[in-house]
Amino acid sequence: MFVGDLTEILLMSVTLRVTFDEYAQMVEDGAFDALRDRRIELFQGELREMNPPGPDHSEAVSRLNRWSVLTPPANQVNVRVQDPIGIPELDSAPQPDIAWTVPRSYADRHPLPHEVYLLIEVADSSVADDCGEKAALYATAGIQDYWVVNLPERLVHVFRGPTGGAYQQQFIARVGDETAPLKFPDVRLSVADLLAL
């Protein structure tokens, strides 16, 4: 074996592929307990470590959380922050930054796509992935309303109308614009308030 071959082998990453059910059992059995400070999500059968959030990301999530809790009609939305949603048929359990779901207890399982009103990802270095492969995952799962808060460009990508693994409607809300969830069109979010420095 040549040194170059060894270097290439050492640089290759190993991907552990698991099903949704295997992942759920691993969580239940405490397989990730030693990784408390690291966020792991299941994405199409792959276990992926998520980047730790920076201050700008954390501030945007905090503002979204406050808006999500204070503005929808009372008792009509369950707000989840950085918690999984279950997409068993795609062997996925992503952890969006904000999820608005049907109000019920999820003590027995994570929300399923048909129970999701709105998903929001806050993106700094992950804009391309969140607007690309993650949008495709959510569209395939039938998530009707998906937003990506693009921190570098200070705007919000809005994805709607999932068909055939892609969103048919996409638009951008910039500073000065407002956007609202499909389920609650009177609940407006000011992009300037969200992304003000």
Q: What is the mean pLDDT of the chain?
A: 87
pLDDT at 183: 96
Count the Cβ atoms, other than its own, within 10 Å of residue 67: 19
Count of structural domains, the chain:
1
pLDDT (average), residues 81-103? 94
pLDDT at 15: 61
CATH number of the domain within which 106 lies: 3.90.1570.10
Q: At 43, phi and psi to the nearest 5?
A: -130, 105
pLDDT at 47: 76
Q: Check pLDDT > 70 for residue 7.
A: no
Can you name the residues that pair with 49 across neighbouring β-strands? 40
Residue 46 lies in a domain: no
- Tokens for 108? 């027995």
Q: What is the pLDDT of residues 28-82, one digit of tens each?
A: 777 777 666 677 777 777 777 777 788 999 999 999 999 999 999 989 999 999 9
Q: Any alpha helices (H) in 1-132, and if so which ranges? A: 3-11, 20-28, 55-70, 127-131
Q: At 36, phi and psi to the nearest 5?
A: -55, -35
pLDDT at 35: 67
Domain extent, residue 139, equals 53-195
